[in-house]
Structures are given as structure tokens and as C-alpha cells.
Amino acid sequence: MKRRTSLGLLALLLKAPDTLAAGSQASIVAVRVWPATDYTRVTIESDRPLAAKHFLVDSPHRLVIDIDGLSLSPGLRELIGKVKADDPYIAGVRVGQNTPTVVRIVLDLKQAAAPQIFTLAPVAAYQHRLVFDLHPKVETDPLVTLVQDHDKPPAAARRAEAAASAVNDALEELIQKIERPAPPAAVPAPPPVAAAPKPAPAPDPKPPTAAAVDRLIVIALDPGHGGEDPGAVGPSGLKEKDVVLAVGLKLRERLQTNPNIRVLMTRDADFFVPLQDRVRKARRVQADLFVSIHADAFFTPQARGASVFVLSDGAATSAAARWMANKENAADMVGGVNVGAATKDANVLRALLDMSTTAQIKDSLKLGGEVLGQIGKIGKLHKPRVEQAGFAVLKAPDIPSILVETAFISNPEEEKKLRDPDYQDRLVDALASGIAKYFAKNPPMARKRSATL
């Protein structure tokens, strides 16, 4: 008994420094890992801000992070089990109490990485976040991604293997055209999307102004949100980020059944992409169109129907459109942008985003009108016309860009439809038809070289 008392006293004495420091000790709320080819993010959410130092070690590559004011806890240990075997960057995680107040996390890396470590203040449902982003040493070029997506085995069985070499040839051509200015119009190819080719015209030479499509069309598809940013969440728990990714991937497959079309996904997995990066990726591949896919919530569960938005160069066309733009533009706050790293090209980006977008908006309205017309055939529209507001993701000055709110996920009926693969297919059909109709009326011009960022 006496022994236990003294042990108890000893424990109390040993605990004393901890007790004194209790005011500055953080508790872990959650740990999350978001693996992706672009970059892998590790988030440690805590009830108070965490201060971390880090260093890299070579052979083998490791990232060592020391977090001050923290004790090892089961919550933090969960990190070990959250790293998946196929994570492109992290091979494994070790955590230990390095000193009484410092926890050390060692990330064993699969490749040399350029880490970004930063903190995020509480926002939306999140408390304080400490974020480690593991980027590749050399940023993946979206153009390369575009090519690699085609080198993968075809997703659908119907794609014959014989088609693969044709696709590769076409890609070779695409790359050459992006690398150098498009040659003068030569042999006209069939219209880009329309199913039935028109009767062959007489073989007399075309005037140089003929908008002959002799090149591939690149479409940027942008599933909204992702990773730390779930977007809106439906009454039964369906997340906007998941449903828009599913629709985006289906739409890619649908569009690419046309051999003249290549699709760049701004994200093809569950990770967060800052709004400016979405625009930058589309510009890097000189996309002909940019389609951002969403399924948002509204205050009242009664709100229903699809909407299509384009950029406004002045005031929004309605209070609801302005509200929606503000909501979408807040994605960076929830998703978590490393402001320190982003500011280095802030001036260039600001100049880009402020460029005159009059022509872009004109084309975007045409595209939006076609898409709205097709979506109206499969369900209710929220508003019968294309709305305009200052959406940050629609600001590529040279790419017709629309943001489609496919439905209100906050409406229980629409949430159910969004979850239904058949409805997703109908939605994909409508989006693809709208895009096809736009190209039928507005064939793409010869590709011009433009500044890339």
C-alpha cells in the first residue's frame, strides 16, 4: 500500500511538468491522408495551433517533422494506419515522443519530395490544421498527364486494342501541335462531336478562312472540391466532391469515345486542387473548353434544379448567383491553400485573372446555353437562363468556361438522384450533347500559341 502511494507520488511528480504545460498542450482532433499523383497531403487537426519544424534526410529519403507542445496519443498514432500501400509519395510513417514536449513524425518517402508545411486557422467545420504537402521535386506537367492518361489500359472493354495505336498517333500529333503553331488548314476532318459526318464536299481548295477542324479538341473537366474540401453534404451524407468526381470521370469516358477529343481532368482522385491551379492546368494544355462540375447546397431543402454559371465582368446577374460564387470561391479556405507558397506568383496570376474576358464570356454564354438546354431535358432547371457571377475558377481569359450546378445535394430527392448511376449517366449524356452542340455551331479555330503559366 505504502509502495503504491509512493509510486503514485512519483507519477504525480513526473507528471508535474506536463501539468504545468497543460495550458499549451494540444489535443489531436483527427489525422487525414490524401494521396494523389499530384501530391500527397497529410493533415493533423488539433484543438489549438501546432508549431512544427522539419528537415529532409537522404538515402533513403525521409521527411522528419518535430511538433512542439504535443504528447504522443492514440489519435496521432492513427496516422500510421492511414497511409495506403499505393501512396505515390509515402512508404510509411513512424511517430515517437522525441522529448517530453516534442513529438517526432518520420515519413519514409518513396521518392525525393519537395515538402510544404504550413498551418491553417479554423474554418468551416475544421479546427486548427497542420498540413504537410509532399509535392514532386519537379511539378507534373498537365500536358504529360494528358498523354499518360491515354497510355493507360482503356477503361471500357469496348475500346479495341487496335484503337490504341491510333490514339497514340493522334496524341503525338496533339503534342506537336501544342509545341508549335498549328499549320494552315489542310484536309478537313469530320466535325468534332457530331455523330454523322456530312457528305464529302467537292474537292476544290478551301478558302483559308474555312474553320476546318484539323486538330484535336482538348476539354478540361473540373470536378469541384476534393480532399479536405468535401463541398456540400447531402441530408443522407453524400458528399459533393465524390459525386462530381464520379460524374466527371464518366463524362471523360463519354467524351473520349470521340477520337478527336482529349480530356484533361483537373483532379481524377480525392485530393484538393486550389482554384488557380485548376485554371492553370487548363491553360497549360490550351484547353478549348473548361467545365467545372458541382452539386451544391442551399439554405432550404426545397431548392432544386440544375443551373449553369459563367463569369461576369461586372455585377452578378442575381443575388443567388453572387452567393453561389462567393461560396465556391471559399473552397480554397476549406481545402487549404499554402498562402506562403502561392504568393510567389501572385502578381502574375492577378494580372492573368484581371485580363479582359469579354470575348471569353461571350463564348461561355453560348456554351452555357447549349448545356443548359440539354440538362433541361432530363430534369428541372433552377433558373431558365445562364447566370453570371465572379467565379474564380472560370477566369481563364482565353478558354470558354462554365460551372454547372448539376443539382442541389441539399434537396433529399435530388441527393437520391445524384447517387443513382443511371441518373449520372443521363447527366453525362446531357453535358456531352451540350458540348457537342456548342462545337457544331462554333468549330474550334486553328490553335494559337498563347502564354502558358
Interface ranges with Zn ion (CB under 5 A): 224, 231, 294, 296
Cβ burial of 20 (10 Å; 0-12, 13-18, 19+) is exposed
Q: Which one, of 292, 307, 308, 298, lies nearest residue 232 by Cα?
A: 298
Nearer residue to Zn ion within complex by CB, 295 or 372: 295
Q: How far is the CB of 328 from Zn ion (least distance, A)?
A: 5
Q: How far is the CB of 232 from Zn ion (least distance, A)?
A: 6
CA distance 383 to 381: 5
Nearer residue to Zn ion within complex by CB, 224 or 227: 224
Q: How far is the CB of 391 from Zn ion (least distance, A)?
A: 10
CA angle 126, 130, 131 (to 5 degrees): 100
CA distance 146 to 256: 12
The per-residue DSSP string of 209-235 comes to T-----S-EEEEEEE--BTTB---B-T
Place of cell 447527366: 427
Q: How far is the CB of 135 from Zn ion (least distance, A)?
A: 25
Cβ burial of 196 (10 Å; 0-12, 13-18, 19+) is exposed
Nearer residue to Zn ion within complex by CB, 281 or 366: 281
Cβ burial of 158 (10 Å; 0-12, 13-18, 19+) is exposed
Nearer residue to Zn ion within complex by CB, 224 or 226: 224
Which residues does 13 contact at the CB level (< 8 Å), separation at least 6? none
Nearer residue to Zn ion within complex by CB, 215 or 294: 294
Residues 442, 335 contacting (CB under 8 angstroms): no
Nearer residue to Zn ion within complex by CB, 115 or 234: 234
Q: How far is the CB of 293 from Zn ion (least distance, A)?
A: 9
Place of cell 499530384: 38
Count how many residues are written for the chain. 453
Q: How far is the CB of 324 from Zn ion (least distance, A)?
A: 8
Nearer residue to Zn ion within complex by CB, 328 or 398: 328
Residues 191, 443 contacting (CB under 8 angstroms): yes
Q: How far is the CB of 393 from Zn ion (least distance, A)?
A: 10
Q: Which residue is nearest to Zn ion (CB)?
A: 294
